[in-house]
Amino acid sequence: MLNRLVFCRHGETESNVGGWLAGSRDVSLTERGRAQARAAAAALAAQGSPVVAIYSSPQRRARETANVIGAALGLPVAVVPGLEERRWGDLEGGAVPGDLLREEVPGGESLTAFQARVTAALSGLPIPADGRPPLIVAHAGTWHALCRWMGVDPDTLWPPNATPVMLTRGP
Q: What 3-state DSSP class applies to 65? A: helix
10 is in an annotated binding site: yes
Residue type, 166: M
Count of alpha carbons within 13 angstroms of residue 39, beta-carbon side: 14
9 is in an annotated binding site: yes
Q: 10, 142 in Cβ contact below 8 A?
A: no
> Residue 20 has what DSSP assignment?
B
161 is in an annotated binding site: no
Residues, the chain: 171
11 is in an annotated binding site: yes
How far is Cα 59 from Cα 63, in angstroms, rounded to an integer?
Answer: 6
> Among candidates 37, 39, 40, 22, which has minimal Cα distance to 142?
22
**Catalytic machinery residues:** 10, 85
How far is Cα 142 from Cα 114, in angstroms, rounded to an integer?
Answer: 9
119 is in an annotated binding site: no
92 is in an annotated binding site: no
12 is in an annotated binding site: yes
104 is in an annotated binding site: no
Cite the annotated binding site by residue number: 9-16, 61
Cite the annotated binding site for substrate by residue number: 9-16, 61
